[in-house]
Amino acid sequence: MKTKIQFVLAVAVVAAFSTVVSAGASPKTLKGTACPVLGLTVNYKGLKYTCVKVSVVVKKKTVKKLEWNAGVKIVPVTTTTAVGTAPLPTQNFDNTPAGALLWQESFTAAAGTSPDQNVWTPVTGFGTYGTGEIENNTSLPSNVSTDGNGNLVITATCVATTSPGCTATNQPMGQTWTSARIWTSGKATFQYGQLEARIWMPTGSYNWPAFWMMGQEYTSGAPQTGWPYCGELDIAEGLQNDTQDQATIHSNETGSSADWAQGGGLTQIAPISTAQMTSGYNNYGIVWAPNTITFILNGKAWARDTYNPKTMDVTQTIIVSGKQQSATFGPGTAITSIGGNWPFNNPFFIILNDAIGGIVSPVAPNGTSSTMKIQWVHYYKNGNYGTTTASSN
């Protein structure tokens, strides 16, 4: 069997690691200490530690955080050139798109106009997503409509009028909040290419905004393909109490219905702050080709996931503290619950929503409201790749 390289982080380039091994301190183990990016690895005192997501109870609330695992003994391997470790592209994809513009959606209609029904379908109701989010999604203009200033606005509102309402730590599902979720399923699918949306993320830790995609077979397959088999591609997702933006891909573990990494998927944390996310527009996107997805932020590549169909593993490449780092996951690696299946060579549809609850705290004063503004969605060709069923606009 061919050996596969797993690139490990040097101690000096991991900020969180350097705070643990500071001057005058040399702990015996990194287990349980904070780490910066899910899935990254570091060698320390003969063990290789992996940054994992764990659930902890703080003041009777379950929160998720990143910390180093227990570590595994380092086994020397013969290093070779790994799939997916070529440098990330340095071009600005906003200034020079990957290819010709194939489709775009601009939200320039008069204020109060619903999204174009030829492209978007509202997904209404509550309690059917399996995520723990508690909002009641509606198609009402008060929750999703154009603002007359060139934006589609998704508005999340606490509609509770009596105490404790939205200040309660355990709110009834579908009763205290309204918001919206729209998708292009059955109307517009996309396969490969460059896809971007210009978004002003909502303010407030109770929000869970997302620009994401799912495999078309989730709703229109024959037979339909459930999650996570169909694949999920989260291009931008506001998480951790509105303090970070993540990009994640989800699929099922080989021979199982379980999501990759015990529900965590393969995640990258974007190089953007809360203030940047919530005080203005940013362009969130992907450049997508067979067996590879490159994530772009304001036109610049910052992360990439590459699948090796021969070994069925996935190499994650990201920028950490200005330097490129890579790690490989899947069969034969320390984390075997990623890889194997790669549904991302199929058509996917787009979803835009702002959830409440789930993995974020929904606690806020009654009457609280926030807005997620989408100025446009653009879809370009990527070299010879890129097809869509979206109607011309």
DSSP assignments along 164-187, one per residue: SGGG-SSPPTTTSEEE-EEE-TTT
Higher pLDDT, 64 or 211: 211
pLDDT (tens digit per residue) in 336-388: 899 999 999 999 999 999 999 887 779 999 999 999 999 999 999 999 999 99
CA–CA separation, 197 vs 214, rounded Å?
Answer: 16
What does the pLDDT read at residue 61? 62
Strand-strand pairing, 282-289 and 266-269: unpaired
Higher pLDDT, 17 or 324: 324
What does the pLDDT read at residue 1? 34
* Backbone phi, psi, residue 19, to 5°: -75, -25
Residue 343 burial (10 A CB sphere; 0-12, 13-18, 19+): buried
Lowest mean pLDDT among 74-83, 91-100, 281-290: 74-83
Percent of the chain at pLDDT > 90 equals: 65
Lowest mean pLDDT among 15-29, 128-142, 266-280: 15-29
Q: Where does the pLDDT of residue 50 fall: very low under 50, low under 70, confident under 90, or very high at 90 and above? A: confident
What does the pLDDT read at residue 60? 62
Residue 219 burial (10 A CB sphere; 0-12, 13-18, 19+): middle
What does the pLDDT read at residue 4? 27
CA–CA separation, 322 vs 324, rounded Å?
Answer: 7
Q: Does residue 7 surpass a pLDDT of 80?
A: no
**Region 69-87 average pLDDT:** 57
Q: Does residue 172 surpass a pLDDT of 60?
A: yes
CA–CA separation, 282 vs 301, rounded Å?
Answer: 14
Strand-strand pairing, 72-73 and 47-58: antiparallel
Q: Where does the pLDDT of residue 312 fall: very low under 50, low under 70, confident under 90, or very high at 90 and above? A: very high
> Which tokens is 60 given?
């009777």
CA–CA separation, 32 vs 78, rounded Å?
Answer: 30
Percent of the chain at pLDDT > 70 equals: 85
> Which tokens is 55 given?
């659930």
CA–CA separation, 357 vs 166, rounded Å?
Answer: 11
Strand-strand pairing, 190-191 and 369-380: unpaired
In terms of phi and psi (left: phi > 0; alpha: psi -120 to 50; beta: otherwise), the region of 117 is alpha
What does the pLDDT read at residue 79? 31
pTM of the entire predicted model = 0.81
Q: Cα separations (Å) of 180 from 13, 241, 269?
A: 41, 19, 25
Residue 345 burial (10 A CB sphere; 0-12, 13-18, 19+): middle
Q: Cα separations (Å) of 302 from 88, 249, 269?
A: 7, 15, 9
Q: Does residue 120 surpass a pLDDT of 90?
A: yes
Amino acid found at 386: G
What does the pLDDT read at residue 45? 65
Lowest mean pLDDT among 79-88, 129-138, 238-247, 369-378: 79-88
Q: Does residue 217 surpass a pLDDT of 80?
A: yes
What is the CB neighbour count within 10 angstroms for residue 11?
13
Q: Does residue 211 surpass a pLDDT of 90?
A: yes
Q: Where does the pLDDT of residue 25 fall: very low under 50, low under 70, confident under 90, or very high at 90 and above? A: very low
Amino acid found at 132: G
Give me the half-sphere count of Cα atoms (radius 13 Å) on the Cβ side of residue 384.
1
In the chain, where the domains are located: 11-73, 101-388
Place of tokens 């990759």: 260
N-terminal to C-terminal alpha carbon distance within the chain = 51
CA–CA separation, 85 vs 55, rounded Å?
Answer: 31
What does the pLDDT read at residue 123? 97
What DSSP state is assigned to residue 50? E
Q: Where are the alpha helices (DSSP H) in the chain?
A: 15-20, 217-220, 274-278
For the residues of 221-257, what is the DSSP string, one character each? -SS---TTTT-EEEEEEEETTTTEEEEEEE-BPTTSS
CA–CA separation, 335 vs 129, rounded Å?
Answer: 27
What's the CATH architecture for 101-388?
Answer: Sandwich (2.60)
Lowest mean pLDDT among 43-57, 128-142, 333-347: 43-57
Measure CA 82 to chain center. 24
Q: How many residues does the chain have?
A: 393
Q: Does residue 109 surpass a pLDDT of 50?
A: yes
Q: Does residue 16 surpass a pLDDT of 60?
A: no
